[in-house]
Structure formats: structure tokens, C-alpha cells
């Protein structure tokens, strides 16, 4: 699996799961090419503009009733 593959899935679905975030961390810890770097930057932009939601950033309010 490459960074661009994880990014492509997130961009298509509009959602980045915790599992995918962890996978990206592992992939980014190793050597990657310019195309993967660009894909990751596209994902960052999509997350900042709200085009992709991050599961890890969702707020769950438990017991607030």
C-alpha cells in the first residue's frame, strides 16, 4: 500500500478513518516519492477545507443528556 492509495480512498469517501491515519503514519516514517508527498499534501488541504472529515477529530459527547 502506498500513501497515494490511502489518500485516494479518503478523497473518494470524504472520510479518513483512524486506521487509515495510523497507516499513513507508518508509511510516512519510511521513504516515499514525490507523488506520494503530493498526495499527502492534497489530503492535508482537503482536511483543512472540510472536504475530508477525520474520524479522530470527531467529537463524541457521551452522557451529556
Is 60 a member of any domain?
no
Say what the pLDDT of residue 28 is.
96
Model pTM score: 0.83
Is 64 a member of any domain?
no
Is 8 a member of any domain?
yes
Is 14 a member of any domain?
yes
The answer to whether 10 and 45 are in contact (CB under 8 A) is: no
**pLDDT level of residue 57 (50, 70, 90 thresholds):** confident
Cβ density class 29-43: b for 16+ within 10 Å, e for less: eeeeeeebeebbebb
Q: What range does the domain containing 12 cover?
A: 3-55
* Residue 6 CB neighbour total at 10 angstroms: 22
Tell me the pLDDT tens digit for each residue of 19-35: 999 999 999 999 999 99
Count structural domains, the chain: 1
Amino acid at each position: 500500500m502506498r500513501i497515494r492509495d490511502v489518500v485516494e480512498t479518503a478523497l473518494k469517501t470524504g472520510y479518513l478513518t483512524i486506521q487509515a491515519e495510523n497507516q499513513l503514519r507508518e508509511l510516512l516514517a519510511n521513504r516515499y516519492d514525490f507523488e506520494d508527498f503530493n498526495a499527502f499534501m492534497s489530503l492535508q488541504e482537503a482536511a483543512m477545507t472540510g472536504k475530508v472529515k477525520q474520524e479522530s477529530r470527531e467529537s463524541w459527547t457521551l452522557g451529556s443528556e
